[in-house]
């Protein structure tokens, strides 16, 4: 006898488990993979991956009394059907009507009305709200959208006046910050942006991220957001970082129509930073692009899987679902289950880097609790991340929404929740101030220096504008910022680079002082800037800084991690290039002994994280140094060119650069 269909539907939004009842009256739950006249196969951890064997049970048909297949849940089906780049709104409206999804039916009707204001079916669904929406909702009102160009040119006070007029005359109900965010969002790039500097919350956090945004992005539509946390090895080869990790999702994201953000954690692990370090990246994307807060998903591999195991349960109320892959640290899985948050866990049983034990333990716990989860385990994928598992995870995400506390347990949050309609974020107007588009007031020196103080992409843009202005009045406030050790490192680096961009000798004194700073990134920025703002007399100061850099490198060599190794090489190459640019030819000895032999060609490097190739950063520095060596007009440096060539004996690019250098040397 089949279970009553009402029971099955009530259970579907939770674990959505099939069941097999045996003759001994035991009931096995999970995902039925096949049911034939000969046998029944069920995965007790809900996975459909054919490679999985752990937890998969096979029964002779004679042992089985009954097989129950849970019917599809209409709400989850709707979520999946709507998770495409260009959904057919009319079909979705009809689907919702047929399945009693009234909240979603009204939402789809509004979108139908946006393209067809006279559509009778949509008007019937919306009733008296139809004309109001056509007048007051920017999704539907081309008139209101058209007014935003003039709105963008106003300052904050004038915008509030216009907004009050819209409320009175048009019946606009969206909050004023919605329109400010839309105007800001229209200025943001689309497609793939790599290594974007964090702007939001830079007084407490910092770093960079890579982001992908649909090419047809519309700031009046709220999009799903996928947050990816990389590991030491990104699963595609090479060291983990946001720029590489985002490649996992660039095939599926355009089909899904979601926004993807992958921060870079420097240094790993993710839990080695305050929580706001990671969460600030998510907040920034939600402030710059319109995100559906009901469809935010977290995914990570390796150390990123460990980070996902931390941030997923710890902030379960922020995610519709999360998915740790090849990670560990699942002690808080029950908290996520209690909030109803979906979980997709992946591991390989032969993983040599991160043992499978924690994830198996979590899967067993979630299985007993009849949680909403999938656990997929491969027998022979080592520490990789199979493509089909990534795709299956994303498919799982599409059938999940934000959950909330209900009378009988967690229940789905219905409808769309645009991030642009949310209350103001803490300090939002500090990091993203409301300014007239193209206004001259935003380009005065004081404002631009203030923007540099805030750091991030905002600082980069301000530095570019200062370069255009070439105003000496900026030297003093920029010097104060660059020399202030209490300022964030990124702010000081941006100030140093802005000083160099001004190409004024008046900045040289500050830049020379920065060559002695503790920060390797700041020393590199100072050297780069002296190449344009200094003259030959600063060349000897750079030589002294290079000598000091070599002594520090000696002390740190045995304990170097990835980031310091790359920072030392970058600072080394910057010093050599700066001395060459300034025409300082008396420094051949320090270039040879320190820049080339001690740092660039350092042997006995420590063991870095698995999968990291230190020669990639070394090659980048080598190419820069080879390009600079001819400027010293020192025949003795030919031996160093030969040494670099020997280090990269099989690299054609380095070989060509070395030959070019030799041809220009005495």
Read off the pLDDT of residues 65-100 as tens digits, 9 standing for 90 and up.
999 999 999 999 999 999 999 999 999 999 999 999
Name the CATH topology of 5-68. SH3 type barrels. (2.30.30)
In angstroms, the CA 442 to CA 152 distance is: 13
Confidence of residue 203 (pLDDT cuts 50, 70, 90): confident
Question: Which is higher by pLDDT, 271 or 312?
Answer: 312
Taking the whole predicted model, whether its pTM rises above 0.95 is answered as: no
Mean pLDDT for 183-198 is: 96
Mean pLDDT for 439-467 is: 85
Confidence of residue 4 (pLDDT cuts 50, 70, 90): very low
| Omega prior to 656 cis, within 30 of 0 | no
| pLDDT of res. 6 | 28
Q: Is the pLDDT of residue 8 over 50?
A: no
Mean pLDDT for 639-663 is: 97
Q: Is the pLDDT of residue 438 over 80?
A: no
Lowest mean pLDDT among 79-93, 233-247, 630-644: 233-247
Hunting for tokens 């899967």 — which residue is that? 363
In angstroms, the CA 278 to CA 258 distance is: 20
DSSP string, 596-629: IIIIIT--S----STT--HHHHHHHHHHHHHHHG
| pLDDT of res. 11 | 37
pLDDT tens digits along 578-621: 999 999 999 999 999 999 999 999 998 988 866 678 899 999 99
What CATH architecture is 189-421?
A: 3-Layer(aba) Sandwich (3.40)
Name the CATH topology of 439-529. 1.25.10
Mean pLDDT for 508-516 is: 96
Q: How many CB atoms lie within 10 A of CB 552?
A: 16
Picking from 230, 227, 221, 317, the residue whose alpha carbon sits closest to that of residue 280 is 227
**451, 490 in Cβ contact below 8 A?**
no
Give the total residue count for the chain. Answer: 666
In the chain, the percentage of residues whose pLDDT exceeds 90 is 83
Rounded to the nearest 10°, the torsion over CA 481, 486, 490, 495 is 10
| pLDDT of res. 7 | 34
C-alpha distances out from residue 248 to 373, 389, 451, 506, Å: 22, 11, 34, 48
In angstroms, the CA 552 to CA 568 distance is: 9
Confidence of residue 35 (pLDDT cuts 50, 70, 90): very high
Q: Is the pLDDT of residue 226 over 90?
A: yes
| pLDDT of res. 3 | 31
In angstroms, the CA 231 to CA 648 distance is: 28
Mean pLDDT for 414-442 is: 89
User: The tokens of 307 are what?
Assistant: 């980070």
| pLDDT of res. 235 | 52
Picking from 344, 335, 459, 324, the residue whose alpha carbon sits closest to that of residue 396 is 344
Mean pLDDT of all residues in the chain?
92
DSSP string, 8-48: HHHHHTTT--EEEEETTS-EEEEEEEEE-SSEEEEETT---
Q: Is the pLDDT of residue 37 over 60?
A: yes
Confidence of residue 306 (pLDDT cuts 50, 70, 90): very high
């Amino acid at each position: 006898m089949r279970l009553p269909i009402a029971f099955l539907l009530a259970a579907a939004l939770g674990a959505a488990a099939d069941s097999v009842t045996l003759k001994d009256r035991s009931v096995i739950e999970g995902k039925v993979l096949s049911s034939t006249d000969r046998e029944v196969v069920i995965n007790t951890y809900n996975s459909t991956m054919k490679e999985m064997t752990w937890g998969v049970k096979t029964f002779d048909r004679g042992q089985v009394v009954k097989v129950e297949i849970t019917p599809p849940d209409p709400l989850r089906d709707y979520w999946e059907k709507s998770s495409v780049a260009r959904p057919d709104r009319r079909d979705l409206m009809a689907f919702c009507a047929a399945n009693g999804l009234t909240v979603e039916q009204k939402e789809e009707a509004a979108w139908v009305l946006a393209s067809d204001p006279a559509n009778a079916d949509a008007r019937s669904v919306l009733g008296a709200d139809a004309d109001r929406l056509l007048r007051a909702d920017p999704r539907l009102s081309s008139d209101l959208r058209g007014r935003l160009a003039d709105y963008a040119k106003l300052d904050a006070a004038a915008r509030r006046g216009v907004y009050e007029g819209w409320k009175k005359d048009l019946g606009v109900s969206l909050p004023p910050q919605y329109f400010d965010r839309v105007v800001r969002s229209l200025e943001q790039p689309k497609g793939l942006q790599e290594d974007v500097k964090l702007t939001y919350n830079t007084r407490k956090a910092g770093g960079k991220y890579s982001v992908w945004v649909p090419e047809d992005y519309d700031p009046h539509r709220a999009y799903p957001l996928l947050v990816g946390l990389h590991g030491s090895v990104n699963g595609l080869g090479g060291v983990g970082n946001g720029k590489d990790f985002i490649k996992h999702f660039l095939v599926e994201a355009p089909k899904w129509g979601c926004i993807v953000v992958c921060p870079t954690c420097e240094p790993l692990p993710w839990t080695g930073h305050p929580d706001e370090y990671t969460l600030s990246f998510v907040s920034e994307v939600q402030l710059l692009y319109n995100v559906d807060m009901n469809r935010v998903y977290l995914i990570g591999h390796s150390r990123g899987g460990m980070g996902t195991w931390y941030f997923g349960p710890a902030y379960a109320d922020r995610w519709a679902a999360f998915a740790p892959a090849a990670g560990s640290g699942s002690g808080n899985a029950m908290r996520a289950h209690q909030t109803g948050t979906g979980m997709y866990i992946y591991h390989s049983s032969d993983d040599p880097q991160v043992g499978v034990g924690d994830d198996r333990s979590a899967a067993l716990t979630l299985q007993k609790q009849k949680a909403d989860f999938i656990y997929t385990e491969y027998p022979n994928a080592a520490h990789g991340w199979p493509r089909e598992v990534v795709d299956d995870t994303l498919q799982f995400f599409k059938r999940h929404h934000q959950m909330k506390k209900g009378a009988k347990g967690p229940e789905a949050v219905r409808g769309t929740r645009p991030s642009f309609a949310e209350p103001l974020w803490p300090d939002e107007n500090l990091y993203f101030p409301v300014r007239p588009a193209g206004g001259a007031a935003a380009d005065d020196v004081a404002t631009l220096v203030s923007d540099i103080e805030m750091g991030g992409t905002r600082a980069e843009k301000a530095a570019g504008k200062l370069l255009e202005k070439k105003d000496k009045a900026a030297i003093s406030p920029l010097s104060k910022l660059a020399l202030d050790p209490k300022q964030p490192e990124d702010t000081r680096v941006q100030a140093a680079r802005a000083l160099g961009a001004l190409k004024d000798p008046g900045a040289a004194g500050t830049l020379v002082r920065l060559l002695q700073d503790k920060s390797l990134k700041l020393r590199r920025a100072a050297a780069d800037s002296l190449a344009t703002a200094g003259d030959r007399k600063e060349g000897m100061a750079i030589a002294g800084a290079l000598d000091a850099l070599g002594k520090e490198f000696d002390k740190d060599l045995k304990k170097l991690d990835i980031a310091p190794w790359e920072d030392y090489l970058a600072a080394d190459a910057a010093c050599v290039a700066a001395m060459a640019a300034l025409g300082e030819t008396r420094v051949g000895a320090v270039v040879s002994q320190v820049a080339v032999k001690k740092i660039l060609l350092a042997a006995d490097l420590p063991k870095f994280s698995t999968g990291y190739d230190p020669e990639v950063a070394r090659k980048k520095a080598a190419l820069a140094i080879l390009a600079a060596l001819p400027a010293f007009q020192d025949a003795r440096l030919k031996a160093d060119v030969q040494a670099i060539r020997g280090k990269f004996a099989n690299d054609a690019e380095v070989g060509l650069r070395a030959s070019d250098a030799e041809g220009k040397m005495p």
